[in-house]
Amino acid sequence: MAAPFSQTRESPMSSNPEQRPNLYALTWRLPIIFWQLIFFVGPVLFMVAMSFFLVKNYRMTEAFEFVNWSRMLTRGFFWDSYWYTIGIATLSTVCAMCIAFPAAFALAFRASESTQRWAIFLLIIPFFTSYLVRTFSWFVILSESGVVNAMLGYVGLGPYTMLNTNFGTLVGYMTLTLPLVVILQTVTMANIDKNLIEAARNLGCSPLRTIWQVIIPLSKTGLIIAAIFCFILSFGDFVAPFYLGGSQEPTLPILILDTTKSGQQWPRAAVVAIMMMVTLFAIAFTGIALAYRKGKGAK
Amino acid sequence: MYRPTVTSSLFGLNRRQLLKAGGAAVLTTPFVSRAWAATTEINMLAWYGHGEPDVVAEYEEANNVKFVPKYYAGGDNMLALIAQSPPGTYDLILSDAEFVQQLNAAGYIEEMNAADYPLDDMLHEDFSQFPGHWADGKMYSMILRGGHLGVSYNKNSVTEEEAQSYACFWKPELEGKVGHFDWHLPTLGMMSLYDGNGAGLWDLNDDQWAKVQETTMSLRKQVGGFFDYGGTFNGLKNGEMQAMCGIGDWITGVLEKDGAPVASVIPKEGGIQFTESYSIGKGSEKADEAKKFIQYMMSPAGQVKSAQMAAYPGFCVTKAGRAALIEADMAEAKRSHQIDGDSQDPITLIKEGRIHYRDIPQQQTLEDWNDFWSEYKSA
């Protein structure tokens, strides 16, 4: 059988010095390179430079001062926000992964292909609507005079305060991330070779042990990618903690807004943004390294 | 039989020429009329609501102008928007009074001719020479409206008597039910008043500033959230928040008109006045149009529009404006106490010394106050 990627054709970026670069292939790669340079690398470099600028009379002036870094990183409220944001984003990731897993498992192993397709379609639908609108709709459901408390009232419970709490923030995060996590988990598990699961069961593995020792290890990469996506989206989300969490403990995105609102301190906001990016890069790289790390005995 | 020929028709034009002339006239008429009636666009920088149809539509129609509003939230935001735009970008600038001085110092606004405006018809003498609006005997901004900030509360959980002091925010039953408008200036001003700083609420020495921070921190356990305009509105409307710090009738007034059991009062420690003023942007090519609009807003009809503004109400600053409001909308005049002899009449409150004009910190920087606000939020 032929190898999926033929070794007979040289890569356009071959290290052979006599090999001329394949301009045709390079041309097709240019748009994405330009895109990344213009809309990612460029703005990031500008943001790094901006973190050293100064604000005078509400106008940014070019400078190379470390005052913004020292001012932000020595403030207790910055680190309070930092650890709170990491904590709540981690909690959001754990919740989303746990809630999504049974649904994804059922879709991957119990549902017909037609049901799977419909389920994926229905999970994509929320992305057609504005996240802000979906978040505001929770006001009606979670307020003290809302739907949930009204139902609890029938059985003599409540009313409970759900808005302007960590619970409210988490509900917002789930609104944002859960459909995506279910989709990623479902696609990952649906691609597992069913023969391996059957083999485990035939060899006497209990259902729970099959999940732990066969399904989860085989879908490790997809699960970690889903978790990384969930963490990144929660970590950077402004809407849920602001509107459903009542900004009670400011997350880093809220701190960015607060910093720019007063005195137009965009350079200090840039410091917060860079810290967020560094954190996310570290977590994403660690996660991806874990996802693709080969287990013992793997070739 | 005589058959008239086209050559003998009107003015001796033949049919072809007549059709050509008619066609040309028909085709060019729209352009001619558009040229005659070209709508002038006026760029306005303002808080939300000032460029909305309920305020400007009548004026636009009558004067063939079109307002292009750019809305901001907060004086800092306004200054930044101007600083980052070329001169002449904004023809009309509505700002909070405490920021006029900075607008003028930075050279962002034009001098105005005092004789163009009804300064002799002001409801309070302060309004004629409002702090910061004049420099070296020259006028730079025209006060348009104001509103008072105090204790805003839900009548079902706070009595009117309790609301007579900021102490009601610490009421045990309100734990987790006190909301903040997410801006440090009004709330810290109120805490300063509660600490007894009176007229010196913005001019705090180190000890007074430390005490204000301590007082504010002691309120943290009562706080249920920090909100923008929409969040504040929702929090009070759905009952999640039973009292609000940092706002006044400009929000509860809208809800009250909608039937919500909320109100705002000026407590015994005093209240804060927000004041909004119009200036003409430096380098504006439509300064005359801008002046004309400011004159309209200062007229009785304009003052009524301002007082009834759908986004948030404000009180009239001219005597003629108040009289027109009473005549046009007695219900709103009564609700907002803009009636001579009413004990909560905003002008009476100013005269009694219970109202202090909003300002910026005198001995600390805005950054100091904002940093403390961030600490407070994360506490």
Q: B21 pLDDT exceeds 70?
A: no
Interval B89-99: pLDDT, tens: 999 999 999 99
Interval B109-132: pLDDT, tens: 999 999 999 999 999 999 999 999
The answer as to whether B343 is a domain residue is no
DSSP-based three-state secondary structure for A123: helix
b/e sequence A244-255, b meaning 16+ C-beta within 10 Å: bbbbbbbbbbbb
CA distance to A109, A176, A214, B287, per residue, from A189 (Å) = 8, 22, 11, 67
The answer as to whether B49 is a domain residue is no
Cα separation, A218 vs A240, whole angstroms? 33
What is the model's pLDDT at position B247? 96
The token duo for A39 is 């809309």
Q: B30 pLDDT exceeds 80?
A: no
The token duo for A274 is 């860079």
What is the model's pLDDT at position B27? 60
What is the model's pLDDT at position B22? 64
Which amino acid is located at A264 in the chain?
Q
Give CA B39 to chain center in angstroms.
Answer: 26
What is the model's pLDDT at position A297? 43
Three-state SS for chain B is: CCCCCHHHCHHHCCHHHHHHHHHHHHHHHHHHHHHHCCCEEEEEEEECCCCCHHHHHHHHHHHCEEEEEEEECCHHHHHHHHHCCCCCCCCEEEEEHHHHHHHHHCCCECCECHHHCCHHHECCHHHHCCCCCEECCEECCEEEEEEEEEEEEECCCCCCCHHHCHHHHHCHHHCCCEEEECCHHHHHHHHHHHCCCHHHCCCCCHHHHHHHHHHHHHCHHHEEEEECHHHHHHHHHCCCCCEEEEEEHHHHHHHHHCCCCEEEECCCCCEEEEEEEEEEECCCCCHHHHHHHHHHHHCHHHHHHHHCCCCCCCECCEHHHHHHHHHHCHHHHHHCCCCCCCCCCHHHHHHCCCEEECCCCCCCCHHHHHHHHHHHHHC
For residue A255, what is the nearest residue in chain B, using CA coordinates?
B374
- Chain B residues lying within 8 Å of A262, measured CB to CB: 76, 184, 366-367, 369-370, 373
- Residue for token digits 């905003």? B346
Interval B282-333: pLDDT, tens: 999 999 999 999 999 999 999 999 999 999 999 999 999 999 999 999 999 9
| Count: domains in chain B | 1
Range among A10-14, B22-26, B147-151, B224-228 with highest mean pLDDT value: B147-151
Cα separation, B95 vs B103, whole angstroms? 9
- Residue for token digits 């003409």? B280
Whether residue A82 lies within 8 A of chain B, CB to CB, comes out as no
The topology (CATH level 3) of A90-250 is: MetI-like fold (1.10.3720)
B346, B148 contact by CB (below 8 A): yes
B358, B274 contact by CB (below 8 A): yes
Cα separation, B118 vs B140, whole angstroms? 15
Give CA A282 to chain center in angstroms.
Answer: 13
- Chain B residues lying within 8 Å of A149, measured CB to CB: none
Q: B25 pLDDT exceeds 90?
A: no
A219, A104 contact by CB (below 8 A): no
For residue B376, what is the nearest residue in chain A, using CA coordinates?
A77
The answer as to whether B151 is a domain residue is yes
The token duo for B185 is 């200036």
- Mean pLDDT, chain B, whole residue set: 91
Confidence of residue B5 (pLDDT cuts 50, 70, 90): very low
Task: Judge: B239–A243 Cβ closer than 8 Å, yes or no.
Answer: no
List the one residue out of B160, B156, B179 whose CA is nearest residue B169. Answer: B179
Q: B14 pLDDT exceeds 70?
A: no
- DSSP per-residue letters across A55-118: EETTEEE----SHHHHHHHT-HHHHHHHHHHHHHHHHHHHHHHHHHHHHHHIIIIIS-HHHHHH
What residues contact A116, with CB distance under 8 A and at least 6 apart? Answer: A107, A108, A186, A190
List the one residue out of B216, B252, B246 whose CA is nearest residue B379. Answer: B216
Cα separation, A98 vs B301, whole angstroms? 62
Task: Judge: A258–B367 Cβ closer than 8 Å, yes or no.
Answer: no
What is the model's pLDDT at position B24? 66
Cα separation, B331 vs B314, whole angstroms? 14
What is the model's pLDDT at position B126? 96
Interval A143-152: pLDDT, tens: 888 999 999 9
Share of chain B above pLDDT 90, in %: 78
The token duo for B286 is 């439509």
Task: Judge: B76–A243 Cβ closer than 8 Å, yes or no.
Answer: no
Interval B339-356: pLDDT, tens: 999 988 999 999 999 999
CA distance to A89, A95, A217, A282, A290, per residue, from A220 (Å) = 20, 17, 5, 19, 9
Q: Pick B74 or A132 by higher pLDDT.
A: A132
B179, B241 contact by CB (below 8 A): yes
DSSP-based three-state secondary structure for A54: strand
Q: In this predicted structure, which of A177-186, A230-239, B46-55, B76-85 has the lowest mean pLDDT?
A: B76-85
Task: Judge: A145–B371 Cβ closer than 8 Å, yes or no.
Answer: no
Whether residue A145 lies within 8 A of chain B, CB to CB, comes out as yes
Given A77, A243, A264, which is nearest B374 (Cβ)?
A: A77
Cα separation, B273 vs B352, whole angstroms? 14
B301, B223 contact by CB (below 8 A): no
In DSSP terms, B67 is beta-bridged to: B42
B360, B272 contact by CB (below 8 A): no
In chain A, domain spans: 90-250
Whether residue A75 lies within 8 A of chain B, CB to CB, comes out as yes
Mode of pairing for the β-strands spanning B243-248 and B142-154: antiparallel
CATH number at residue B165: 3.40.190.10
What is the model's pLDDT at position A130? 92
Whether residue A138 lies within 8 A of chain B, CB to CB, comes out as no
Torsion sign (Cα): A85, A91, A97, A100: negative
Q: B182 pLDDT exceeds 50?
A: yes
Q: B84 pLDDT exceeds 70?
A: yes
Confidence of residue B77 (pLDDT cuts 50, 70, 90): confident
The answer as to whether B245 is a domain residue is yes
List the one residue out of B203, B312, B197 whose CA is nearest residue B247. Answer: B312
> Domain range holding B169?
147-272+357-378
Mode of pairing for the β-strands spanning B142-154 and B262-265: antiparallel
Task: Judge: A262–B106 Cβ closer than 8 Å, yes or no.
Answer: no
B144, B112 contact by CB (below 8 A): no
Q: Any idea what DSSP says for residue A211?
A: I
Torsion sign (Cα): B235, B241, B246, B248: positive
The token duo for A29 is 């790669």
Q: Any idea what DSSP says for residue A240?
A: I
The token duo for B284 is 């504006």
Interval B261-276: pLDDT, tens: 999 999 999 999 999 9
The answer as to whether B161 is a domain residue is yes
- Chain B residues lying within 8 Å of A59, measured CB to CB: 80, 83-84
Confidence of residue B8 (pLDDT cuts 50, 70, 90): very low
Given B77, B184, B377, which is nearest A247 (Cβ)?
A: B377
Angle between the N-to-C axes of helices A76-105 and B366-378, in degrees from 0 to 180, rounded to the nearest 10: 40
* Mean pLDDT, chain A cut into blocks of 10 residues (299 residues total): 41 54 81 92 96 85 94 94 97 98 96 93 92 92 91 91 94 97 96 93 93 94 96 97 92 92 85 97 94 64
